Structure 1
Amino acid sequence: MTDSTTQAALGRQLMARLDEAALHSLPGPGVTRLFCSDEHREVLELIADWMRQAGLTPELDASGNLVGRNARALAGENTLILGSHQDTVAEGGKYDGMLGVALPLQALQALKEDGVELPYGVEVVAFGDEEGTRFQSTLIGSRALAGTFDPASLEARDADGVSLGDALEAFGGKPRDIPQLARKPESVIGFVEVHIEQGPVLEQRDQAVGVVTSLTGIERHRVTVTGKAGHAGTTPMAGRRDALVGAAEMVVEADRLLNATPDFVGVVGKLEVRPNAVNVIPAEVTFTLELRSPDADVRETGSREVLDACRRLAQARGLELEIESTYQADAVACAEWLIEALEGACQACHEPAERLFSGAGHDGLAMHAMTDIGMLFVRCKDGLSHHPDEAITAEDAERATRVLMRFLSDLEAA
């Protein structure tokens, strides 16, 4: 294993790689890199180079994932899958997703340079679309690998009217071949993802890493409120069918219910007003509603209460309401044997690593349908994520890389 000087260098090199990846972004604050965009294409060239340095052979698959395989994986031996997503939210940070691509490649390269040959196949996947920022349809790549890809998602369209299928075809993917990407469960050892915590727990504990026990359940809805446009100066206030006022009441009521329910969180993250004119009563408002809970019963009950409240408020104001469910993923548990293996690697590296729950969704939500999943969290400053100020330290990057190296070295072929 590498000495402490080399390990510190690994952290610095990892941070430099993450800085370089962040350059592939749309202009503006933070990092904005969307699925099947020019920035996506550019960053894959960089990641492919990292894969080759780690001894992996890179390949763009039919769903837009970049997959790097070692010789044993290429030969069809049982394989451990590692990875995370390359895409970001609008004006996001450098580390959400990309850390889980760069760090395992850094760890594999260090093991290779140390002369360590792993006795099993390894794949590192840079998933194309986890955030759903462009097409509002998440986990495309991980669902493809898990064998749960829904071809109907190819019809989703971005703000410019481009379909996901057409964008993927232009990117070099092969939408028709996506079903063939499904892995055989018996040939997969498991799936492990490294990710920033996106929360404050590790910082509060003063710990660099943590071992995840489970991933939250998530559902998303697109809510359209329809009223009637009119002249803002000549239409009496009484009797107006103002879609924005109705939508505002719904947002406030959703917030009240979320605050009143333990282990239930959510957000109205996107809102569109039509005709969006300064002197016209809004005729239509569309907003997104995302709801999360680690407890399926809490999420289902809370969702029903929120959506029923929207219906009551719409009826009270004479507004029409359409609710479209756009995404759902149930909470999933990490495999106990992977939790224990990651804990063992932490202990061997003298890293305290208590267990914690993930309040965010990850590619593991999809991969769980096909194989056991495990997850290692890395401390992030102020628990901040989905923001340009998202930050980790070089020291924590090094410590997490060292833990993953130990995990990979200790893992036996299944």
Structure 2
Amino acid sequence: MSTAADVLARCDALAACSDHPDHLDRAHLTPALAAAHRLVTGWMTAAGLRTWRDQAGNLCGRIEGREPGLPALLLGSHLDTVPDAGRYDGMLGVLLAVAVAERLGPEVAAWPCALEVVGFTDEEGARFGTALLGSRALAGTWDDEWWDLQDADGVPLAQAARDFGLDPSLIGTAARRPADLVGYLEAHIEQGPLLEEADRSLGVVTTIAGARRLRVEVLGEARHAGGTPYPRRRDALVGAAEAIVLIERTVRDSEAIATVGQIDVEPGAVNVIPGRAVFSLDLRAATDEARDAMRDTLLAGIEAVCAARGLGVRVTDVYAAPATPCADRLRDALRAGVVATGDPAPLDVWSRAGHDGMAVSAVTDVGMLFLRCHDGISHHPAEAVREVDVAAALDALTAAARTVATQAPVPA
């Protein structure tokens, strides 16, 4: 049976599947993703799973229950990465799921449900700018307008899918119905420092953050850097900088999280006062109400900053995802699994990052298990986990899957 050491060795092997020779970069529908699928298919098959790739590009595997065609307990995470990624975000959860399937395989034939493992694609949204494409397809919430999305090279999503061997006209076949599933469990590195600060291997996720992404455009006037005195300046970059400082000052003592990760300046010349600055705003909170209240507070502050400097401001909402509470029954199963590893009082945490469970919740209940990662570092090559924590996660996820599956409704 696979051990924590085996899971970590497989993470190392997957890290070699990259579209860039110098760092890990594995985006949706790329040759590196195809290579990752070949590796994981081999491990799934060895674990006793029947494998296939759906028309969204998700890699799937299944072990039947006591009769063919029963609803399935779904385990998994994602196989794509951000650019210059670490080797545990997403893929550790997939490989833990494969190891759980290997452990439980002999039992599943007596279960009132099947066991499935999924390696989702495009959770990160790095190539086409829209995250959760794989899990949205599985949840039946696909939007055909997404086929027109283009990557940085101008390749439409539909063409990339065909090049990958998929048929866009069959995307509907990737969708599951609520009756097809009994729940979804995912193990994932925390991507934050709370577990490490509490000296805990594992935590049980209560909810996945509701997120909104905005585009904030500050409009001033481009003029000569030397010839324009300060009272005459309408410097869009200085206004944007003041707004960004206001964002941090407002949010840092709240329960929300806000990040400005991009800023573009026009005309962008060393001797020209910036006439336009555009920055991104990523805003998250445990509930939609808290997130949206903070949005309103921040926009009022940004507008006041810009008005005081004679600047215009335009705000565009570019992305929204509702907060996703984890189902009580799945949280209870995960909590019991953590207790079985020797932690008598499992830590509850809310996920400040988004995950495939946000999309999967449209079709079935979701539950998440977090495991400690060094210094909370993620989306960076320095991602690191300890073998002892991976071992605890493997034990806890196995126990939780057994609990959820054996308590599944008995088909009529």
Settle same-fold status: TM greater than 0.5: yes
CA displacement at 1:69 relative to structure 2: 2.2
CA displacement at 1:310 relative to structure 2: 2.8
* Greater Cα offset, 88-97 or 10-19: 88-97
Aligned to 1:66: 59
Q: Residue 299 in 1 paired to residue 254 in 2? A: no
**One-letter amino acid matched to 1:310:** I
Task: Give % identity.
Answer: 42
Q: Distance in 2 between matches of 1:248 and 1:369?
A: 39
Pairing of 1:14-413 with structure 2 (within 5 A): 14-27=7-20, 31-72=24-65, 75-112=68-105, 117=109, 119=111, 120-260=113-253, 262-352=254-344, 353-410=346-403, 411-412=405-406, 413=408
Report if the CA contact (8 A) 1:314-1:321 is conserved.
yes
Q: Distance in 2 between matches of 1:239 and 1:38?
A: 54
Q: Distance in 1 between matches of 2:67 and 2:127?
A: 32
**One-letter amino acid matched to 1:22:** A
Distance 1:67 1:251, change over 3 A: same
Report if the CA contact (8 A) 1:32-1:90 is conserved.
yes
Deviations 1:338-368 (CA, angstroms, capped at 9, x unpaired): 1111222233343443332222221111111
**One-letter amino acid matched to 2:148:** E
**One-letter amino acid matched to 1:79:** A
Report if the CA contact (8 A) 2:195-2:201 is conserved.
yes
> Cα RMSD between the aligned structures?
2.5
3-state SS, counterpart of residue 250 of structure 1? helix
Report if the CA contact (8 A) 1:222-1:326 is conserved.
yes
Q: Given the two structures, how large is their TM-score scaled by the length of structure 2?
A: 0.89
CA displacement at 1:277 relative to structure 2: 3.1
CA displacement at 1:244 relative to structure 2: 2.0
Distance 1:118 1:73, change over 3 A: closer
Report if the CA contact (8 A) 1:73-1:123 is conserved.
no
3-state SS, counterpart of residue 232 of structure 2? coil
Report if the CA contact (8 A) 2:64-2:109 is conserved.
no
3-state SS, counterpart of residue 200 of structure 2? coil
Matched residues, number: 405
Q: Distance in 2 between matches of 1:318 and 1:74?
A: 70
- Structure 1: tracts of 5 or more residues without a match: 1-5
Deviations 1:52-87 (CA, angstroms, capped at 9, x unpaired): 122223322222212222245994211011111122
Q: Distance in 2 between matches of 1:201 and 1:79?
A: 32
**One-letter amino acid matched to 1:81:** L
Distance 1:233 1:214, change over 3 A: same
Q: Distance in 1 between matches of 2:153 and 2:230?
A: 36
Report if the CA contact (8 A) 1:73-1:79 is conserved.
no
Q: Distance in 1 between matches of 2:21 and 2:242?
A: 32
Deviations 1:236-267 (CA, angstroms, capped at 9, x unpaired): 4443343322222221121122124x211110
Report if the CA contact (8 A) 2:108-2:114 is conserved.
no
Q: Distance in 2 between matches of 1:132 and 1:49?
A: 26
Distance 1:63 1:277, change over 3 A: farther
**One-letter amino acid matched to 1:130:** E
Distance 1:12 1:213, change over 3 A: same
Q: Distance in 1 between matches of 2:229 and 2:186?
A: 57
Q: Distance in 2 between matches of 1:176 and 1:314?
A: 47
Deviations 1:305-359 (CA, angstroms, capped at 9, x unpaired): 2123333434444444332222111212111111111222233343443332222
**One-letter amino acid matched to 1:137:** T
**One-letter amino acid matched to 1:184:** R
CA displacement at 1:98 relative to structure 2: 0.9
**One-letter amino acid matched to 2:171:** I
* Greater Cα offset, 13-22 or 29-38: 29-38
**One-letter amino acid matched to 2:277:** V
Q: Distance in 2 between matches of 1:223 and 1:349?
A: 47
Q: Distance in 1 between matches of 2:54 and 2:296?
A: 39
Distance 1:45 1:63, change over 3 A: same
3-state SS, counterpart of residue 160 of structure 1? coil
3-state SS, counterpart of residue 247 of structure 1? helix
Q: Distance in 1 between matches of 2:148 and 2:328?
A: 38
CA displacement at 1:234 relative to structure 2: 3.9
CA displacement at 1:129 relative to structure 2: 1.3
